[in-house]
Amino acid sequence: MAMAMAASKLLFFFCPIFIYLLVLSIAQADPLYHFCSKTGNFTNSSDYKSNLNNLLSSFSSNTKIDYGFYNDSYGQNNDKVTAISLCRGDKKPETCRSCITNSSQVLTQLCPNQKEAYIWYDDCMLRYSNRFIVGSMEFGPHFWMYNVNNVTDEKEFYEKLNVLLGNLTNLAALGDSRRKFATGNATTENSQQKMYALVQCTPDLTRQQCSDCLNQAIKLIPTCCSKSQGGRVVSPSCHFRYEKDPFYELVTTTPPPSPAPLSVLPPPPQATPAPLSVLPPPPQATADAVPPRASTAAKIGTAVIITEYVLLTNMVKF
């Protein structure tokens, strides 16, 4: 009887741990793609390995950054490591840090001794190198994915999609050094096909670099995603994605407070009575009505899981 009670307590103790690990394993899906460069190797006992571990650890433990972009270097001379990590612009800080932690662990296992490596997830990307990569627009290696389901009116759909992606590219490129990210949606007039799109650049790029990178990616649509209801092109410096259903989280915009009304000045006191005519008081000052911006309704739902995807890669050799 005592043994049965002890076993029951032990099972009760391990059950929450098992459930936590199960949820964690489900949440950490397989990466979309990874790439191990052949530009150089290191050994497990090298300073480069130690510098890499320190740098990646500093990313995932940094709670001061809440905008999802990390970049830094660690070490000196030939053992210096530079890394960049970017989370999708609609992801919360805790989701972002979790993705970076997981990416660091997985990438160093997939590329155990390569000095330069890349990995992409839905929520984040991570790359590191023995060369300085910050502020450099790099389109390779890149890859694309597309949905095997087709649109009903290809011509009308892609005309509307190109306009939408062009507008979003301009918005993202105008972002600051913390975030270059934009989302939007559109509907075709005749076939009433809905589309949702997302574009993003690493915010270390200039406005022109961001535009160039996204435009280069968008030009691949006829090659990668012809007739498809959804698709994406992903590179180290930028990426875009579109789907017929919502797949990103919308952020609520709080309307600004209404401007305070201007105080109305009383008319100036009349002068000492005299035979002079009394001037009428000046007109009262009124404030122009400034309508507050309409708030965008929050629409945070479960992410759309698209299983019918085909992955194609197009790698650039260094």
Reported as a pLDDT band with limits 50, 70 and 90, residue 49 is very high
- My answer on whether 244 and 174 are in the same domain is yes
Q: Out of 62, 94, 129, pick the residue that ends a domain.
A: 129
Contact 213, 175 (CB under 8 A): no
pLDDT at 251: 56
| 286 assigned to some structural domain | no
Q: Express as a percent the part of the chain with pLDDT over 70.
A: 70
- My answer on whether 165 and 309 are in the same domain is yes
SS3 state of residue 15: helix
> What mean pLDDT do residues 251-271 have?
44
| 38 assigned to some structural domain | yes
The neighbouring-strand residues paired with 73 are 82
| 226 assigned to some structural domain | yes
**Token reading at 182:** 């934009």
Measured CA to CA, the distance from residue 77 to residue 145 in angstroms comes to 38
Question: Domain with 152 in it: what CATH number?
Answer: 3.30.430.20
- My answer on whether 151 and 245 are in the same domain is yes
pLDDT value at 253 more than 70: no
**Token reading at 259:** 């401007």
Tell me the per-residue pLDDT of 139-164, one tens digit each, with 9 for 90 and over.
999 999 999 999 999 999 999 999 99
The neighbouring-strand residues paired with 114 are 41
Q: pTM for the full model?
A: 0.74
Question: For residue 179, what are the domain limits?
Answer: 142-249+305-314
pLDDT value at 213 more than 50: yes
| 117 assigned to some structural domain | yes
- My answer on whether 187 and 309 are in the same domain is yes
**Token reading at 166:** 């062009």
| 163 assigned to some structural domain | yes
Examine residue 141 and say whether the peptide bond preceding it is cis (omega within 30 degrees of 0): yes
How far the first Cα of the chain sits from its last, in Å, is 67
- My answer on whether 98 and 165 are in the same domain is no
Measured CA to CA, the distance from residue 120 to residue 86 in angstroms comes to 10
- My answer on whether 178 and 207 are in the same domain is yes
| 95 assigned to some structural domain | yes
pLDDT value at 88 more than 50: yes
Considering its fold, how many domains does the chain have in total? 2
Q: Name the least confident of 25-29, 43-47, 79-83, 280-284.
A: 280-284
- My answer on whether 148 and 112 are in the same domain is no
- My answer on whether 309 and 180 are in the same domain is yes
- My answer on whether 77 and 122 are in the same domain is yes
Q: Out of 86, 102, 129, pick the residue that ends a domain.
A: 129
Q: Out of 94, 129, 164, pick the residue that ends a domain.
A: 129
Reported as a pLDDT band with limits 50, 70 and 90, residue 28 is low
- My answer on whether 159 and 204 are in the same domain is yes
pLDDT at 258: 42
| 188 assigned to some structural domain | yes
Give the CA dihedral 214, 215, 216, 217, nearest 10 degrees: 50
| 75 assigned to some structural domain | yes
Q: Is 249 exposed, middle or buried (0-12, 13-18, 19+ CB in 10 A)?
A: middle
> What rounded mean pLDDT belongs to the chain?
79
